[in-house]
């Protein structure tokens, strides 16, 4: 180390070493949700929100297409909901299959007085709870970045958590019904990627063909993005209520799908 | 019961055994992959749609709020701007995924490489064959991408075609890096760190917006990343604005591929032949 | 009946003062042996004895640190590829490609040896017949039993008509029935004149299959010979096993019985070995030894007279048991 380094000097190498230390020190079980729920959306926020945002704001300049003051306010809450979508897909496929088929912890648990339905609900809920915790952090990031305009935003993590819950119930129900994992990459490509792109997080659905727009409007992703944005903007109205009703109804159906799937899988196992 | 030849005396063999050379070895590894993936063609085929959806979603969806952009003086639609950028990024992603997760699985979990190396195959044949498989797979996806650019009238046919070799170079260069990373990885979770580096690099690579958007100090950081060179080269070719100065991009990627290719071979040889 | 000395012809493997170092650790510490054409040669020893390291050097995937090694008359350092073209290797853990069918696992490997696609397929069918997996040829590998997977590994190792097949602990982890089926197939190979080199830590396996064996411990060869000659020269014909019950509570010396047995054996001029759970007394006549021990007031909870095995040879030579 050269002697010119003082207590206040900052070098890339030094920062990298400290970051690596922090990374390694963080237990793996927190790491994945922090990466998916905070770090990764923060990259998008910083690079697309600011970089792409400067272009969008220059072009839009006062237009009302976005419905927000600027692109940062538009994409920020969208990223919150969209990372819930990716997290739900990520946790409900391989890790869920793993816990049933390889670890077999649930097979053991099912042999105790606990019911299979309880196992299913707890499994899905745990996916959503972990995400909600990370969503609280990311909402703070959004507030600091200036992408939040209202105190309603304190409910945004719950809306994102609900998105993860509804989606996780459906995908877990799918996963436990599969004989092997061959269908998982297809589901990612035909489910996760389109939902990621076309839920209205990055651009308003007015920019895509109407049919794609309507298809997007039945997915939890779109409802999550809209609700998160309405909360962050403080523009809570009857639309927001529709999203909540959607989550309750579809969530209940998804849960039934998951529970029956778990019952089937654990009775065979 | 046993094939009669099995009782052949030891000495009768000498001199008759065919010992495939390096190139043949690479071909065999390639063929091995081809057979392994034969039953997974649907998964492979669906891989075509991923970049397409990105192109349609970001190209037209984002395009609706961005409009046109200028690249080296030419004004192009946002979809035409982003298309080659996504093509280069997907070439990187494809081979990087193959040479990390898939390589690591065969190296540490199934230990298939140990099994392959007790045949006349050499380390050079193994690494070369695996890498060329990864590049070839990416090349097929890139070819679809080229067709899409032409079909959607986002690039002149000849220009779009001329961008195809750039994606092969990109795939090879990143594949060599991936193979090297794999040789250093101790566990699956080590690749999380790679993802943490690749994602911001992807977002900043100018695939989505021009370099000029960045403040000056950030521009030089972006310039230093390999994906920037891949994106800029592919875009210059696809939009027909490539010039001699783009050879800098080619040189960057060639050097990266060579250095990491040699490193990967050396590292894997030390791991597998200890 | 069995041949102790080399047959005529150049040895298939010849090692002289062979050493393998991993860092500071001396995995193989100066060993000498040779394997003759057509013989089945076994390396016996506990984990860490240096068997697998020796195998890896012979299959040319691990460079020799020092000493001399010739495989099929060639130098592994210079002619690795040529050697591998004439070897068959059955690794300790079955390395099979789960994405391929049973038959494809063989044909794909055949291609690495330069066989044409038609030859490869023909050869695969012959070999699957031989290892009794012909009816599973088009099945996936994953659901096969452990014994079937091992047989598939053996079939795959034979794809190039190898002159020497290396088998690293071929029956570890298999149930008794699967072991016997495997031994029977290996015995067939041996009858056809294929040279086999196998490592094992099972004594019965070496006794069943090997013409000649070396016992290895901590990187060195402790002894070598035919299974029978080793038992005869390094041990006694019989072994008396004495087990003593749990000592009664409050007894001064918990090992009283075992200690008395050892003293008694010494009086009878018999060698004895004390293990955690029993005492072994080596004698050429087990019945007489047991009677002698009884005269010295040795009363065990249970006694057993059996023929000596290679396990006893190992214990005699190293003072340790093989499977710990």
Residue C44's DSSP bridge partners are C200, C215
- For residues C44 and C310, what is the distance between their CA atoms, to the nearest angstrom? 9
By Cβ distance, the residue of C89, C111, C158 closest to B28 is C111
Specify the pairing of strand C164-168 against strand C238-243. unpaired
The domain in which residue A35 lies consists of: 29-268
Phi, psi of A147 (to 5 degrees): -100, 10
- For residues C51 and C28, what is the distance between their CA atoms, to the nearest angstrom? 8
Tell me which of C179, C205, C232 is where a domain ends: C232
Does C271 lie in the same domain as C161? no
Task: Look at C17 and A28; give whichever has higher pLDDT.
Answer: C17
Q: Which residue of A has its CA nearest to B39?
A: A182
Residues 82-111 of C with CB under 8 A from B: 82, 84-87, 89, 91, 93, 95-100, 104, 108-109, 111
Does C124 map to a domain?
yes
Measured in angstroms, the CA of B193 and the nearest CA of chain C are apart by 28
User: What is the structure's pLDDT at B12?
Assistant: 35
Instruction: Please give the average per-residue pLDDT across C63-76, as a whole number.
Output: 95
Instruction: Please give the average per-residue pLDDT across B194-211, as a whole number.
Output: 94
Mean pLDDT for chain C overall: 87
User: What is the structure's pLDDT at B20?
Assistant: 65
For chain A, list the contacting chains (3+ Cβ pairs, <8 Å): B
Q: Which residue of B has its CA nearest to C77?
A: B273
| pLDDT confidence band for A115 (50 / 70 / 90) | confident
Kindly report the pTM of this predicted structure: 0.84
ipTM here:
0.86
Q: B213 CB near a chain A CB, below 8 Å?
A: yes
User: What is the structure's pLDDT at C244?
Assistant: 83
- DSSP letter for A173, please: H
The domain in which residue C256 lies consists of: 236-307
Measured in angstroms, the CA of B262 and the nearest CA of chain C are apart by 20
CB contacts < 8 A (A, B):
96
Does C206 lie in the same domain as C225? yes
Phi, psi of A87 (to 5 degrees): -60, -45
Specify the pairing of strand C195-200 against strand C40-44. parallel
User: What is the structure's pLDDT at B165?
Assistant: 97
User: What is the structure's pLDDT at C315?
Assistant: 84
Do residues C279 and C273 make contact, with C-beta atoms less than 8 angstroms apart? yes
Task: Kindly tell me if the per-residue pLDDT of A245 is higher than 70.
Answer: yes
Helix or strand (DSSP H, E) at B153: none
Measured in angstroms, the CA of B18 and the nearest CA of chain C are apart by 6
Least confident range from A18-32, A67-81, B256-270, C117-131: namely A18-32
Instruction: Please give the average per-residue pLDDT across B68-77, as a whole number.
Output: 91
Task: Kindly tell me if the per-residue pLDDT of C1 is higher than 70.
Answer: no
* Contact assignment for B57 to A208 by CB distance below 8 Å: yes
Does C247 map to a domain?
yes
| pLDDT confidence band for C93 (50 / 70 / 90) | confident
Longest Cα–Cα distance of chain A, Å, equals 68
By Cβ distance, the residue of A31, A186, A194 closest to B53 is A194
Instruction: Please give the average per-residue pLDDT across A251-265, as a whole number.
Output: 94
Give the Cβ contact number of residue A68 at 10 Å.
22
User: What is the structure's pLDDT at B155?
Assistant: 95
Going by C-alpha positions, the residue among B136, B91, B97 that lies closest to residue B230 is B91
Task: Look at B36 and A196; give whichever has higher pLDDT.
Answer: A196
Interface test with chain B among C7, C108, C123, by most B beta carbons within 10 Å: C108
CATH number where C302 lies: 3.30.70.1280
Does C137 lie in the same domain as C186? yes
Task: Kindly tell me if the per-residue pLDDT of B15 is higher than 70.
Answer: no
Q: C186 CB near a chain B CB, below 8 Å?
A: no
Does C324 map to a domain?
no
pLDDT tens by residue, C13-27: 999 999 999 988 999
Least confident range from A218-227, B4-13, B44-53: namely B4-13
Measured in angstroms, the CA of A227 and the nearest CA of chain B are apart by 20
User: What is the structure's pLDDT at C322?
Assistant: 64
Does A16 map to a domain?
no
| pLDDT confidence band for C286 (50 / 70 / 90) | confident
CA–CA–CA angle C192, C194, C196 (5° rounding): 130
* Contact assignment for C61 to B111 by CB distance below 8 Å: no
Interface test with chain B among A27, A47, A199, by most B beta carbons within 10 Å: A47
Task: Look at B39 and A165; give whichever has higher pLDDT.
Answer: A165
Please give the tally of structural domains in chain A: 1
Instruction: Please give the average per-residue pLDDT across B111-125, as a whole number.
Output: 92
Residues of C in Cβ contact (< 8 Å) with B36 = 97, 99-100
- Secondary structure of chain C in the HEC alphabet? CCCCCCCCCCCCEEEEEEEEEECCEEEEEEEEEEECCCCEEEEECCCCCCHHHHHHHHCCCCCCCEEEEEECCECHHHHHHHHHCCEEEECCCCCCCCCCEHHHHHHHHHHHCCCCHHHHHHHHHHHHHHCCCHHHCCCECCCCCHHHHHHHHHHHHCCCCCCEEEEECCCCCCCHHHHHHHHHHHHHHHHCCCEEEEEECCHHHHHHHCCEEEEEECCEEEEEECHHHHHHHHCCCEEEEEECCCCCCCCCCCCHHHHHHHHHHHHCCCEEEECCCCEEEEECCHHHHHHHHHHCCCCCCEEEEEECCHHHHHHHHHCCCCCC
CA–CA–CA angle A215, A220, A226 (5° rounding): 90
pLDDT tens by residue, B174-183: 999 999 999 9
User: What is the structure's pLDDT at C6?
Assistant: 39
* Contact assignment for B61 to A59 by CB distance below 8 Å: no
* Contact assignment for B214 to A51 by CB distance below 8 Å: yes
Q: Which DSSP string corresponds to A28-73?
A: HHHHHHHIIIIIHHHHHIIIIIIIIHHHHHHHHTT-SSSSSSSHHH
| pLDDT confidence band for A13 (50 / 70 / 90) | confident
User: What is the structure's pLDDT at C227?
Assistant: 87
User: What is the structure's pLDDT at C324?
Assistant: 52
Task: Kindly tell me if the per-residue pLDDT of B13 is higher than 70.
Answer: no
If phi > 0 it is left, if psi is from -120 to 50 it is alpha, else beta; for residue C226 that is beta
How remote is the C-alpha of C248 from its chain's centroid? 41
CB contacts < 8 A (B, C):
119
| pLDDT confidence band for B7 (50 / 70 / 90) | very low
Do residues A164 and A128 make contact, with C-beta atoms less than 8 angstroms apart? yes
| pLDDT confidence band for C2 (50 / 70 / 90) | very low
CATH number where C112 lies: 3.40.50.300
| pLDDT confidence band for C249 (50 / 70 / 90) | low
| pLDDT confidence band for C257 (50 / 70 / 90) | confident
Does C284 lie in the same domain as C202? no
Task: Tell me the angle at which helices C146-157 and C117-130 cross, rounded to the nearest 10 degrees.
Answer: 130
Please give the tally of structural domains in chain C: 2
Mean pLDDT for chain B overall: 88
Does C120 lie in the same domain as C259? no
pLDDT tens by residue, A194-238: 999 999 999 999 888 999 999 999 999 999 999 999 999 999 999
User: What is the structure's pLDDT at C5?
Assistant: 38
Does C202 map to a domain?
yes
Q: C116 CB near a chain B CB, below 8 Å?
A: no
By Cβ distance, the residue of A48, A60, A198 closest to B208 is A48
Going by C-alpha positions, the residue among C243, C200, C210, C223 that lies closest to residue C313 is C223
Instruction: Please give the average per-residue pLDDT across C273-299, as a whole number.
Output: 85
Q: Which single residue is written with the structure tokens 């040189």? A: B251
- For residues B151 and B143, what is the distance between their CA atoms, to the nearest angstrom? 12
Q: B208 CB near a chain A CB, below 8 Å?
A: yes
- For residues B183 and B264, what is the distance between their CA atoms, to the nearest angstrom? 7
Does C131 map to a domain?
yes
Alpha helix (H) residue ranges in A146-192 = 156-175, 184-187
- For residues C13 and C166, what is the distance between their CA atoms, to the nearest angstrom? 11
Does A3 map to a domain?
no
Does C271 lie in the same domain as C179? no
Going by C-alpha positions, the residue among A23, A50, A63 that lies closest to residue B204 is A50
Return the exposure string of C81-119: e unless at least 16 CB atoms fall within 10 Å of the residue's CB, then b.
bbbbbbbbbbbbbbbbbebbbbbbbbbbbbbbbbbeeee
Give the Cβ contact number of residue B10 at 10 Å.
22
By Cβ distance, the residue of A46, A186, A208 closest to B61 is A208
Q: Which residue of C has its CA nearest to B23?
A: C112
Does C101 lie in the same domain as C157? yes
Q: Which residue of B has its CA nearest to A200?
A: B61
Does C312 map to a domain?
no
Least confident range from B106-120, B121-135, C219-233, C239-253: namely C239-253
Does C322 map to a domain?
no
| pLDDT confidence band for B247 (50 / 70 / 90) | very high
Which residue pairs, CB below 8 angstroms and at least 24 apart, start in B39-47? B39/C99, B40/A182, B40/C99, B42/A186, B43/A182, B43/A185, B43/A186, B44/B137, B46/A185, B46/A186, B46/A189, B46/A190, B47/A189, B47/B94, B47/B141
């Amino acid at each position: 180390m050269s002697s010119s380094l003082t207590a206040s000097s900052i070098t890339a190498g030094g920062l990298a070493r400290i970051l690596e230390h922090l990374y390694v020190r963080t237990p793996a079980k927190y790491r994945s949700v922090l990466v998916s729920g905070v770090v990764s959306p923060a990259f998008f926020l910083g690079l697309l929100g600011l970089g792409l945002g400067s272009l969008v704001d220059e072009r839009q300049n006062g237009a009302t297409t976005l419905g927000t003051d600027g692109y940062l306010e538009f994409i920020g809450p969208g990223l919150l909901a969209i990372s819930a979508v990716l997290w739900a897909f990520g946790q409900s496929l391989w890790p869920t299959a793993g816990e049933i088929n390889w670890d077999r912890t649930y097979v053991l648990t099912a042999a105790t007085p606990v019911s299979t339905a309880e196992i299913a609900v707890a499994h899905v809920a745990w996916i959503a709870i972990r995400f909600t915790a990370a969503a609280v952090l990311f909402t703070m990031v959004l507030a600091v970045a200036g992408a939040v305009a209202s105190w309603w935003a304190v409910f945004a993590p719950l809306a994102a958590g609900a998105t993860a819950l509804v989606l996780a119930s459906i995908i877990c129900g799918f996963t436990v019904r599969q004989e092997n994992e061959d269908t998982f990459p297809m589901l990612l490509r035909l489910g996760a990627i389109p939902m990621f792109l076309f839920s209205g997080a990055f651009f308003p659905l007015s920019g895509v063909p109407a049919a794609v727009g309507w298809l997007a409007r039945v997915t939890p992703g779109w409802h999550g993005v809209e609700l998160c944005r309405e909360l962050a903007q403080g523009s809570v109205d009857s639309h927001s209520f529709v999203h909540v009703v959607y989550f309750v109804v579809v969530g209940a159906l998804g849960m039934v799908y998951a529970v029956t799937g778990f019952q089937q899988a654990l009775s065979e196992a | 019961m046993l094939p009669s030849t099995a009782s052949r005396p030891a000495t009768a063999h000498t001199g008759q055994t065919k010992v495939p050379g390096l190139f043949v070895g690479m071909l065999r590894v390639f063929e091995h992959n081809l057979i392994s993936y034969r039953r997974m063609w649907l998964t492979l085929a669906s891989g075509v749609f991923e970049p397409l959806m990105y192109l349609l979603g970001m190209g037209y969806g984002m395009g609706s709020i961005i409009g046109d952009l200028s690249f080296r003086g030419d004004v192009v639609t946002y979809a035409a701007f982003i298309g080659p950028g996504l093509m280069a990024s997907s070439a990187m992603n494809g081979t990087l995924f193959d040479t990390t997760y898939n390589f690591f699985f065969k190296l540490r979990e199934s230990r298939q490489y140990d099994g392959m190396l007790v045949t006349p195959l050499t380390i050079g044949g193994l690494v070369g064959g695996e890498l060329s498989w990864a590049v070839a797979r990416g090349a097929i996806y890139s070819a679809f991408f080229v067709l899409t650019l032409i079909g959607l009238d986002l690039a002149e046919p000849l220009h779009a075609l001329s961008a195809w070799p750039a994606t092969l170079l990109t795939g090879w260069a990143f594949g060599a890096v991936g193979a090297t990373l794999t040789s250093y990885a101790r566990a699956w979770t080590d690749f999380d760190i790679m993802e943490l580096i690749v994602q911001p690099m992807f977002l900043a690579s100018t695939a989505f917006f021009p370099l000029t958007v960045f403040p000056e100090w950030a521009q030089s950081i972006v310039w230093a990343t390999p994906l920037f060179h891949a994106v800029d080269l592919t875009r210059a070719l696809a939009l027909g604005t490539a010039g001699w100065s783009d050879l800098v991009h080619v040189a960057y990627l060639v050097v990266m591929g060579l250095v990491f290719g040699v490193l990967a071979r050396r590292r894997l040889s030390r791991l597998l032949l200890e | 009946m069995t041949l102790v000395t080399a047959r005529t012809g150049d040895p298939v493997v010849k090692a002289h003062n062979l050493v393998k170092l991993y860092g500071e650790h001396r995995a193989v510490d100066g060993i000498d042996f040779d394997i003759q054409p057509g013989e089945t040669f076994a390396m016996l020893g506990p984990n860490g004895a240096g068997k697998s390291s020796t195998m890896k050097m012979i299959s040319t995937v691990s460079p020799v640190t020092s000493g001399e090694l010739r495989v099929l008359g060639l130098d592994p350092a210079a002619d690795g590829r040529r050697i591998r073209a004439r070897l068959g290797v059955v690794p300790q853990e079955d390395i099979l490609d789960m994405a391929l069918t049973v038959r494809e696992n063989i044909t794909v490997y055949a291609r690495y040896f330069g066989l044409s696609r038609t030859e490869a397929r023909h050869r695969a069918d012959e070999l699957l017949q031989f290892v009794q997996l012909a009816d599973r040829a088009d099945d996936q590998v994953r659901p096969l039993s452990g014994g079937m997977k091992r047989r598939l590994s053996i079939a795959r190792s034979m794809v190039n008509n190898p002159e020497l097949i290396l088998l690293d602990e071929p029956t570890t982890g298999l149930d008794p029935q699967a072991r016997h089926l495997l031994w029977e197939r290996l015995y067939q190979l041996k009858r056809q004149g294929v040279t086999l080199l196998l490592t094992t830590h099972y004594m019965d396996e070496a006794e069943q299959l090997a013409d000649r064996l070396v016992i290895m411990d901590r990187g060195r060869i402790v002894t070598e010979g035919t299974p029978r000659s080793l038992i005869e020269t390094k041990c006694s014909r019989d072994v008396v096993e004495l087990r003593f019950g749990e000592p009664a509570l409050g007894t001064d010396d918990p090992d009283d019985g075992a200690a008395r047995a050892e003293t008694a054996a010494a009086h009878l001029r018999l060698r004895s070995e004390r293990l955690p759970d029993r005492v072994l007394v080596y004698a050429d006549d087990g019945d007489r030894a047991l009677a002698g021990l009884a005269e010295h007031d040795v009363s065990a909870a249970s006694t057993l007279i059996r023929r000596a095995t290679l396990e006893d040879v190992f214990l005699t030579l190293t003072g340790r048991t093989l499977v710990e």
